[in-house]
Each structure stands twice: as C-alpha cells, then as structure tokens.
Amino acid sequence: SQTIHQWPATLVQPVGSPLSLECTVEGTSNPNLYWYRQAAGRGLQLLFYSVGIGQISSEVPQNLSASRPQDRQFILSSKKLLLSDSGFYLCACGQGAKAFFGQGTRLTVV
Amino acid sequence: KQEVTQIPAALSVPEGENLVLNCSFTDSAIYNLQWFRQDPGKGLTSLLLIQSSQREQTSGRLNASLDKSSGRSTLYIAASQPGDSATYLCAVSDRGSTLGRLYFGRGTQLTVWP
C-alpha cells in the first residue's frame, strides 16, 4: 500500500519569508495528488490537485503555488508568506476512489 | 457548490455507549462518501468508503450508511472506547473510480471517557 511522506512536521516562519513543503508518495504510480489546508476552527480546504507531472489545478486564489516535478513528488511553495497562511497543511494521494493522507505540516507564520 | 455539514460538532460520552455521527451534503450527485478519523495534530486515516450505489459499509465496530437521495450519511460506533476519541470527518467525492475533489465537513470531535 502507499505511504505518504511530508516534511517538515512543524515550521515557524516570519512574514515575508519563502516556503517550500514537500510531499512524496511510495507504493503507487501516477497517483492524483492533493494539498489541503486546515485552519483553526475551519474545515479542510483543497488548495491544489494534480493528475500528472506538471499538471496543477488551483482551487483558490492565494499567494501559494504548487509544482509536481516528478510522478510521486508534490511541492507547495510561496515566495512571501502572510500571517493568514498559518495552518495545518496536508498532502493526500488518491488510489482508486480512496484518499490517503500524510501526517501534515504545522505552519506558523509570525 | 457542494456543502457538507456534520452534527454534532462535539460529543462527550462514557465508555460503552453506542454512538451516531451525522453527515449531510447539499448536492446528491456524489460518487462516494468517505469517513475519516483525525487524531490531534495528525493526518487523516480513512475508516470507510461507501460508493454511491451502496447503502452501507462495515468495519469492526464501525458501520456507515448512505442515503444519497436525501443527502445523508451516518457513522455508527458500537460499544465506544476511550481509544475512539478523535475528530471524525466525512467527505464526498465528485468523481467515481478515480479520486476527484473531496468536500469535507468540519468534523465531529468525539471524547469517550472511561
């Protein structure tokens, strides 16, 4: 079965600094990949999804971007973080109709 | 736009009780519904997946039902245990055999005390 690796687990970054969160998947090929954000007191919000290398769909306008340079690698980036970017970021993989999630990255922008 | 609501937002019960968590969705044109468990500060663990053509799925002490026409699903937990304490999330998908977009509810935070 697939395993999803996310790092780092926690991150504290100053406002205006860049961001790079990485997600890699093992145990499957050509998966659909997703980035979700879970803000305090709110539900899970889909940020980006990808059906293949170089194919990224953005769900909400924001200062974040995503890239998929390899089949099983999904990267979430920002050039300049905002306070509102704080939250819990989750990478997910679709295998068939089922979703599998990584352990998440807790990002605090200060 | 699909909206998913979960009731109650929080639930605190003594060990041994049977529980029902509710999930409703506004657009009945879904392909499947999934229930997840999330422990504090952790990712989501898939519990049950119900295809739109199915009525229910069971795994151990968990049973999930789906009434697509009325836009409702319930998660039944039998003989609850303290280890069941977590947040339970339901999500509906807009695609069938391949995972599409998942629309999540805000979850039910469950506490089971000994």
- pLDDT at position B57 is 96
- pLDDT at position A61 is 67
Tell me if A97 and B42 make a contact (CB, 8 A cut-off): no
List per-block mean pLDDT (blocks of 10 residues) for chain A, which spans 110 residues: 90 97 92 91 87 89 90 96 95 87 95
- Phi then psi for residue B83, to 5 deg, are -65, -10
Of the candidates A27, A97, A65, A38, the one whose C-alpha atom is nearest the C-alpha of residue B44 is A38
The pLDDT tens digits of the residues spanning A1-31 come to 789 999 999 999 999 999 999 999 999 888 9
- pLDDT at position A43 is 83
Alpha-carbon gap: B3 to the closest alpha carbon of chain A (Å): 11
Which amino acid belongs to residue A6?
A: Q
Say what percent of chain B tops pLDDT 70.
96
Strand B56-59's sheet: what is its strand order? B4-7, B19-25, B72-77, B62-67, B56-59
Q: What is the DSSP string of chain A?
A: --EEEEE-SEEEE-TT--EEEEEEEES-SS-EEEEEEE-TTS-EEEEEEEEETTEEEESS-SSEEEEEEETTEEEEEESS--GGG-EEEEEEEEETTEEEE---EEEEE-
For residue B97, name the pLDDT band (cuts at 50, 70, 90).
low
Alpha-carbon gap: A51 to the closest alpha carbon of chain B (Å): 9
> Which of A37, A89, A101 to mutate against chain B (most B CBs within 10 Å)?
A101
Tell me if A97 and B99 make a contact (CB, 8 A cut-off): yes
Cα–Cα distance measured from residue A99 to residue B41, given in angstroms and rounded to the nearest whole number: 18
Chain A within 8 Å of B13 (Cβ-Cβ)?
no
- pLDDT at position B94 is 81
For residue B45, name the pLDDT band (cuts at 50, 70, 90).
very high
Cα–Cα distance measured from residue B33 to residue B68, given in angstroms and rounded to the nearest whole number: 9
Chain A within 8 Å of B52 (Cβ-Cβ)?
no
Whether A100 and A93 have beta carbons less than 8 Å apart is answered as: yes
Residue B98 has pLDDT above 70, yes or no: no
Kindly identify which residue of chain B lies nearest to residue A98, measuring between CA atoms: B99
Q: Dig out the tokens for B43 from the structure.
A: 């990712």
Count how many pairs of residues, chain A against chain B, have C-beta atoms within 8 Å: 67
- pLDDT at position A62 is 79
